[in-house]
Amino acid sequence: MAKAEKTTRARRYKRITLWSLLIIMVSAMVLPLGSYVLTGIRDAQAQQVQDTNPRSNYWRAVRGGEAGTSTITGTREGKVINDETNYLMNAGGENWRQIRNGIIANYGGWFLFFVVLAILLFFARFGRVDLASGRSGQTVERWTLPERIIHWTVAVSFIALAITGLSLLFGRAVLIPLMGLQGFSAWAEFAKWLHNWVGPWLFTPGVGLMIILWIRHNIPTAEDIQWFTQGGGIVGKAHPHAGRMNGGEKIWFWFICTVGVAAIISGFFLDFPNWWSASREGMQQANVVHGVAALGWIALWFGHAYIGTLGTEGALEGMATGRVDVNWAKQHHDRWYEELQKKGQPAGAEGSEEPTAIKGQPA
């Protein structure tokens, strides 16, 4: 009797368990569908409200970019000047603002911060690249006077553009708390004027001349790959072969030719919209391209400036005086130095322009 009772109880528990599992499974599938029902009810209610409020429906359509009829002709003297005819509100401006002030300003600022931090950590870890054989006391010409004038014109212009451009990009968040509204307003007005003047009339011609003068020295070769695999003479003790321009300098050059040129073209588009019959959307797109390309250019320039000054002994002397130590040439640009020897180009005593012989070559 007890055994039969236990069997009946076990069967009852089994049925309860199975029904419970079945109810749980059905509920897991059915209950989520209830949200669609509730959503449908809310949408129906909202639609009813919309249908009974024509003013709300009107401005909702305007904000959504729905075409209507307006007095904007979109032309001036028969020439199309914009593409906003019959649109009361352009939502693209808000989208652009969120991209510029959100993605570009926030992530761009942190990107530059981490680039500078990485350079500082790199210098702390590896230090300056010194001349392995010390100074020879003899120098060779690396950059002519016209080349140096063009380089420093572009360099000074770039720094001015970077400072003013970053001020305009981050000014609202960074400079207003420091300078106040009136102080930042005065600085922003000057920064905008300087940026728009230096960019097209000083910086752009200089970049164009640099590309024309140095493109023949920046054609990639197989030795550039070896230069990178050996740490470029910066990491480790190897001194990889290099011609007048090494692999790193070629990367910098071709970055300017691509991303840099994109920044310049988009800058012209922003400075002279009437030349292009620019639309509002086109201006917004140009602003995004200009901001992203400029931030990338500034980040890479940090590395270029570090290697050419603090990171490498004797590198700055080339652009400062036009001449570099013979041992510097042998260590960093040995193929180029070999070409000078073949041409019989004389070396001069350090601190002097007077030539002396190079390995038996006549002065």
- 236-262 pLDDT per residue, tens: 888 999 999 999 999 999 999 999 999
Count of beta carbons in the 10 Å neighbourhood of residue 204: 18
User: Looking at residue 206, what is its pLDDT?
Assistant: 98
* Mean of pLDDT over the chain: 82
Residue 191 has pLDDT above 70, yes or no: yes
Residue 10 has pLDDT above 60, yes or no: no
User: Looking at residue 262, what is its pLDDT?
Assistant: 98
Residue 339 has pLDDT above 50, yes or no: yes
- CATH number reported for the structural domain that contains residue 280 in this entry: 1.20.950.20
**Closest by CA position to 297, among listed 108, 97, 143, 102:** 108
In a domain, 180, yes or no: no
**Closest by CA position to 96, among listed 283, 265, 294, 278:** 283
In a domain, 292, yes or no: yes
User: Looking at residue 265, what is its pLDDT?
Assistant: 97
Give the Cα separation of 56 and 5 in Å (integer): 71
User: Looking at residue 168, what is its pLDDT?
Assistant: 94
Q: List, in sequence order, every residue forming a beta bridge with 325; answer none if it has no partner.
A: 139
What residue numbers bound the domain in which 236 lies? Answer: 97-143+218-356
In a domain, 148, yes or no: no
User: 299: pLDDT confidence band, cut at 50, 70 and 90?
Assistant: very high
Residue 269 has pLDDT above 90, yes or no: yes
- Parallel, antiparallel, or unpaired for β 138-141 and 347-349? antiparallel
> What average pLDDT does this structure show over 193-205?
97
Within 13 Å, how many C-alpha atoms sit on residue 189's CB side?
5
Give the Cα separation of 255 and 220 in Å (integer): 13
In a domain, 334, yes or no: yes
In a domain, 88, yes or no: no
> What average pLDDT does this structure show over 5-15?
57
H-helix or E-strand spanning residue 335: helix 334-343
User: Looking at residue 38, what is its pLDDT?
Assistant: 43
Answer for the pair 99, 311: CB distance below 8 angstroms, yes or no. Answer: no
> In the chain, how many domains are there?
1
> What average pLDDT does this structure show over 32-39?
42
**What does the CA dihedral 342, 345, 348, 354 come to, rounded to 10 degrees?**
150
User: Looking at residue 344, what is its pLDDT?
Assistant: 83
Angle between helices 204-214 and 261-271 (to 10 degrees): 150
Where is average pLDDT lowest: 12-21, 49-58, 141-150, 232-241? 12-21
In a domain, 295, yes or no: yes
Cα dihedral sign, 309-314-318-322: positive
Phi, psi dihedrals of residue 295, rounded to the nearest 5°: -65, -40
pTM of the model: 0.75
Task: Summarize pLDDT for 158-167 with one digit per residue, the tens.
Answer: 999 999 999 9
